[in-house]
Amino acid sequence: MSSPPPSLPASDASALRSWLLAAKSAVDKRGVDADALLREVGLDLSTLSDPMARYPAHLGLAFWQKALQATGEELLGVDVALQFLPLNFTALGYALMASENLAQMYLRLARYAHVVTDAADVRFHLEEGVGRITITGDQALLRAANAATVWSIFDYAMLTLVRGSRMLYGRDFVPLELRLQRQRPKDHARFEKVFRCTPIYGCEDNALLVDHTTLHKPLSFANLEVVKASEEAMDRYRSHWPDRGLPQQLAAVLKEMLPSGEPRQDDVAPRLAMTLRTLQRRLAELGTNYRDVLNQTRHQLALDYLAAAQYSVGEISFLLGFSEVSAFTRAFRRWTGTSPSTWRQAVAPTRPPHAH
């Protein structure tokens, strides 16, 4: 396999081959030899017959950049999203399609998005009853790509999110807002027709906002047995990853150490077989730091624990390493704009109340 183009940095991030199949199909339909472009960046799909096979994310980014240049199609990300089906997400697709409501679907997507690719983060927040789903990319990976490539990738990600929501909810799904970092495309008429809404362009992030009623409408294909089996399959898959990115490795260590109190960096570094200085340097190279990973880990675990309805708020506070419940509540308000109890009641209103 050839080395990645020098303009795109090597990265620990990876992605499932299923995404690449959708991208290849879209490029081929534009009359461009996608296999030739894949070979140019060092990828050969014929060697990836396992649907759970992964490829380096920086090579996928290099392919996308070449595909944009070869097709001359500004809205290539839209083409890719239209080729994509939920089952391209393998077990995650089953879990999403069998969710009880959109709120639960978004929560599962946020929890398991790294199964599809750890080059992106999906966050789900409730702000005054409104659901906000935000997708961000690996900044160390994206900063070397041009704006057109980055915008195109998020066109794909956000349209996939909107289409998935519409598949579950029904054709009348309409978000409160669709916020995009990109500038308005030249062919904005086609762009907005596919999304079935007019995005707000030039935003600080890429986010979908959904109202409370839409979030919690019961879905006709809900099947908790399918959800459980799919989540168990994804948990097994994640547990066997031989080489996870440093932030994911750090998050796993933090999850183990948090019940004993907030871990110190110099206690965590040896668990990762590196010095404190090396840990700080490698995180900085990835565009993050220890405090950010700690907060993100606590935030995601808090959402998981609250949605599971297994622990009280006090127990969750302990599991996340907070000395007092009030400290956890303040942190949770910073993350979501609401209290843990209110968030739990909003995201899972049909579940019996848990003792607080």
Task: Please identify, among 171, 197, 216, the residue that sits at the C-terminal boundary of a domain.
Answer: 216
The span from the CA of 198 to the CA of 211, in Å, is 17
Q: What is the pTM of this model?
A: 0.71
Do both 257 and 165 map to the same domain? Answer: no
Per-residue pLDDT at 139 exceeds 90 = no
Could you tell me if 183 and 311 lie in one domain?
no
The 3-state DSSP class for residue 25 equals helix
Domain count, the chain: 2
The pLDDT confidence band at residue 270, using thresholds 50, 70 and 90, is: confident
Asked, for residue 236, whether it belongs to a domain, the answer is no
CATH number at residue 151: 3.90.1520
| Any domain includes 237 | no
pLDDT (tens digit, 9 = 90+) per residue, 298-331? 988 888 888 777 789 999 999 999 999 999 999 9
* Alpha-carbon span 188 to 202, nearest angstrom: 14
- Residue 222 inside a domain? The answer is no
Q: Per the domain annotation, does 109 fall within a domain?
A: yes
CATH number of the domain to which 254 belongs: 1.10.10.60
Residues 75 and 167 in one domain: yes
pLDDT tens sequence across 204-221: 999 999 999 999 999 989
The answer as to whether 7 is a domain residue is no
Nearest to 296 by CA among 153, 113, 164, 156: 113
Please give the Cα distance from 343 to 134 (Å, whole number).
17
Q: Are residues 269 and 158 in the same domain?
A: no
Residue 6 domain flag: no
Residue 283 clears pLDDT 90, i.e. is over it: no
What is the domain range of residue 96?
Answer: 14-216
pLDDT at residue 328 in the model: 95
Assess whether 210 and 285 both reside in one domain.
Answer: no
β-sheet with 130-137: strand ranges across: 120-127, 130-137, 206-210, 177-179
Residues 201 and 280 in one domain: no
Share in percent of the chain as helix, strand, coil (round to 5): 60, 10, 35
Q: How far apart are CA 27 and CA 336, in angstroms?
A: 39
Quote the pLDDT of residue 239. Answer: 66
Q: In whole angstroms, what is the distance from residue 227 CA to residue 91 CA?
A: 9
> Above 50 in pLDDT, residue 3?
no
Cβ distance 15 to 57 under 8 Å? yes
Using the structure block, give the residue that is written with the tokens 């871990």: 263
Q: Is residue 195 located within the same domain as residue 296?
A: no
Do both 262 and 203 map to the same domain?
A: no
User: Do 281 and 210 sit in the same domain of this protein?
Assistant: no
Question: Going by C-beta distance under 8 Å and a sequence separation of 6 or more, which residues neighbour residue 147?
Answer: 182
Residues 180 and 260 in one domain: no
Note the pLDDT tens digit of each residue in 147-178.
Answer: 999 999 999 999 999 999 999 999 999 999 99
Write the single-letter amino acid at 305.
Answer: Y
Q: Which of 291, 300, 341 is nearest to 319 (CA)?
A: 300
279 and 141 in one domain?
no
Reference 99, options 244, 187, 215, 246; nearest CA is: 215
pLDDT, mean over the chain: 86
Q: What are phi and psi of 353, to 5 degrees?
A: -65, 140
| Domain assignment of residue 233, yes or no | no
**Domain for residue 305, yes or no?**
yes
Same domain as 257, residue 188? no
pLDDT digits 0-9 by tens, 224-252: 999 999 999 888 887 666 545 788 889 88
pLDDT surpasses 60 at 126: yes
